[in-house]
Amino acid sequence: MQPHKTRIRVRFGDTDPYGVVYFVAYFRYFHIGIEEFLQHIGIPPETFFRNTEEKFGMPKVAADCRFFVPAFYGDTLEMHTSIKEIKEKAIVFQFHFYRPPDTKLCAEGSVTFVAIDHTWKARPLPEILLEKIKESS
């Protein structure tokens, strides 16, 4: 599956006081990337994170990011979102940031979700998600 590309315009509130995009903003971008990715493959994001009908939730259990090239207010970044790994009970998204026309990798990170049931106990990934992911591969 191709990574899903999202244009991220650096906004007020995304930077440190010197105009450099600060690390917290990238994690907020991650979430936008995940939502756009899900939307793209036919999973409404609001049915992914907590699905009361199917009685599952997908909390995050880990997140990380490495920063290679600084970005600035006024920049438009390109974020590539893809699935890095699917385990029995977990799914890992990964993110790569570029600052076109430059092709150097600016930042790279991942977020791991675990499937839980309504008692917050880990459970196998819901079929309804796996199907959509498989279809889109």
Please give the residue ranges that form the binding site for its own copies (CB under 8 A).
Answer: 9, 11-20, 22-25, 27-28, 31-32, 35, 44-46, 49-50, 59-68, 70, 72-74, 111, 120
* Residue whose CB is less far from its own copies, 5 or 60: 60
Q: Write down the least CB distance from residue 136 to its own copies, Å.
A: 20
Cis peptide before 101 (omega within 30 of 0): yes
C-alpha count within 13 angstroms, C-beta hemisphere, residue 122: 9
Closest CA to 126 of 113, 137, 136: 113
Q: Write down the least CB distance from residue 81 to its own copies, Å.
A: 14
* Residue whose CB is less far from its own copies, 12 or 134: 12
Q: How many whole angstroms separate alpha carbon 39 and alpha carbon 14?
A: 24
Tokens of 134: 């498989």
Q: Write down the least CB distance from residue 16 to its own copies, Å.
A: 5
* Residue whose CB is less far from its own copies, 72 or 134: 72
Q: Write down the least CB distance from residue 73 to its own copies, Å.
A: 4
* Residue whose CB is less far from its own copies, 50 or 132: 50
Q: Are strands 90-98 and 105-114 parallel, antiparallel or unpaired?
A: antiparallel
Tokens of 114: 């675990």
Tokens of 53: 């009908």
